Amino acid sequence: MSTAEPILLTPGPLTTSARTRQAMMVDWGSWDDRFNQLTASLCEQLLAIVNGTDSHHCVPLQGSGTFAVEAAIGTLVPRDGKVLVLINGAYGKRLAKICEVLGRSFSTFESAEDEPTTAADVDRLLRADNSITHVALIHCETSTGILNPLPDIAQVIARHGKRLIIDAMSSFGALPIDARQVPFDALIAASGKCLEGVPGMGFVFASKSALANAAGNSHSLAMDLFDQHTYMARTGQWRFTPPTHVVAALHEALLQYNEEGGLPARHRRYASNCQVLLEEMSKLGLRSFLPASIQAPIIVTFHAPKDPRYQFKEFYERVKAKGYILYPGKLTQVETFRVGCIGHVNGIEMQAAVAAVAEVLREMEVLDI
């Protein structure tokens, strides 16, 4: 790619393949049988990734991932329910804000941004408050890249007879989640993340039993997943104008996902990207915020250089001019920046990106190497 088309080292939108972009060059009729078949094929392939065909419905929704998170909370949590929101970063806080705006009762448990929530924490919290009906968890907290121990937490929630809602926005498609082993009412993801599609469509894997009992829960017409699924099941069509080009791009991206080798291959490439990134950045003296044991191979947070000549905006613009777009930090206590490991990139491009970072820091007289 040229510097006119920079590589996006971000957690989405991200760099897509030429084939995926080419798939958006066709116009689709939203009621056309071929487009309806495309949607059905898409949902079938997505369900297969989590082994959820027998237990869950895939309900697509127009909009960003946050739209789908809000739709899942609004549809699957009854108006008299109560959500325990587990927080160790900005997206957990966003979940709590969604509950507040929707008028759902909720409580929060917040741990440090470099500390995973533990199953023991959840067990203690559920023992202390029997009014909790649902637990909401961020699988991979994108503000740092921390990975929360989903399987252990899910088993504790199931033992207490409570319902789990998983924001898997940054992990779905790259980190394994098996619906046959991890019980959940909803798992939420989006088109523009690890599947390497383009942004514009979220989707919710909703438990068949939970969705069947969700009529009338939603606060919204457009975000009612019960109505969305019921209408699609009856007609094969989206209720309202679908993001046709986004659907086509994601369908094409899924073909490439399977050609690459599915989730195991996607995980290997991202893990390799992450390892290259960590090793090469450490040679520059740039330290990662998280220890390796809780670092997901999705996005890495780095401590910013302490040199007063370092300013993120200038750093960002200079790196961008060399063909790479980074991400600002999202922590409140320490200055950081983030580098994504996902998208249609490999280890060679990660090495080139770090070389660009090194060159920029030398130009800014922050590094003397």
CATH code, domain with 119: 3.40.640.10
Half-sphere CA count of 163, side-chain side, radius 13 A: 20
- The rounded Cα 266 to chain-centroid distance in angstroms is 15
Structure tokens, 352: 């080139």
* Residue 253 structural domain: 18-258
pLDDT tens string 88-137: 999 999 999 999 999 999 999 999 999 999 999 999 999 999 999 999 99
- Is pTM beyond 0.85? Reply is yes
Residue 125 falls within a domain, yes or no?
yes
In a domain, 1, yes or no: no
Last residue of a domain, one of 234, 258, 282: 258
Read off the pLDDT band of 2 (50, 70, 90): very low
Please tell me the predicted confidence (pLDDT) of residue 337: 95
pLDDT in tens, 140-184: 999 899 999 999 999 999 999 999 999 999 999 999 999 999 999
Q: Is residue 369 part of a domain?
A: no
Given a contact cutoff of 8 angstroms between Cβ atoms, the answer to whether 347 and 270 are in contact is: no
Task: Please tell me the distance from the alpha carbon of residue 138 to that of residue 142, in angstroms, as a whole number.
Answer: 9
Q: For position 1, what pLDDT does the model report?
A: 41
Q: Are the CB atoms for 76 and 214 separated by under 8 Å?
A: yes
Same domain? For 316 and 191 the reply is: no
Of the CA atoms within 13 Å of residue 15, those in its CB half-sphere come to: 22
Do 333 and 317 sit in the same domain of this protein? yes
Residues 60, 41: contact at Cβ < 8 Å?
no
| CATH number of the CATH domain containing 358 | 3.90.1150.10
Instruction: List, in sequence order, every residue forming a beta bridge with 188; answer none if it has no partner.
Output: 167, 204
- Could you tell me whether strands 82-87 and 105-110 are parallel, antiparallel, or unpaired per DSSP bridges? parallel
Q: Looking at residue 24, what DSSP letter applies? A: G
Which of 256, 261, 300, 263 minimizes the C-alpha distance to 189? Answer: 263
* Interior angle at CA 299, CA 295 and CA 304, nearest 5: 90
Q: Does 138 lie in the same domain as 47?
A: yes
- Alpha carbons 105 and 81: distance in angstroms, whole number: 7
- Mean pLDDT over residues 41-58, rounded? 98
Task: Tell me the pLDDT tens digit for each residue of 287-325.
Answer: 999 998 999 999 999 999 999 999 999 999 999 999 999
CA 343/CA 122 separation, integer angstroms: 33
3-state secondary structure of 315: helix
CA distances to 116, 124, 195, 250 from 121, in Å: 10, 5, 32, 37
Domain match, 122 and 172 both: yes
- Rounded to whole angstroms, the Cα distance separating 120 from 29 reads 51
> Quick one: pLDDT at residue 367?
77
Q: Which of 212, 227, 258 is the last residue of a domain?
A: 258
Are residues 273 and 346 in contact, defined by beta-carbon separation less than 8 angstroms? yes
Q: Is residue 243 located within the same domain as residue 125? A: yes
| 30 and 114 inside one domain | yes
Is residue 147 located within the same domain as residue 167?
A: yes
Average pLDDT of the residues in 238-262? 98
Same-domain pairing of 245 and 273: no
Of 213, 228, 258, the one marking the end of a domain is: 258
Q: What is the pLDDT of residues 182-233, one digit of tens each?
A: 999 999 999 999 999 999 999 999 999 999 999 999 999 999 999 999 999 9
Is 368 among the domain residues?
no
100 part of a folded domain: yes
Which pLDDT does position 73 carry in this prediction? Answer: 98
Q: What is the mean pLDDT of the chain?
A: 95
Nearest by Cα to 256 from 194, 214, 169: 194
Question: Residue 206's pLDDT is what?
Answer: 98
Domain assignment of residue 135, yes or no: yes
pLDDT confidence tier of residue 368, bands split at 50, 70 and 90: low
d(CA 201, CA 196): 12
User: Are residues 147 and 268 in contact, defined by beta-carbon separation less than 8 angstroms?
Assistant: no
Domain count, the chain: 2
Q: Please determine, for residue 4, whether its predicted confidence score (pLDDT) is greater than 60.
A: no
For the chain, what is the radius of gyration of the CA atoms?
21
Per-residue pLDDT, 3: 41
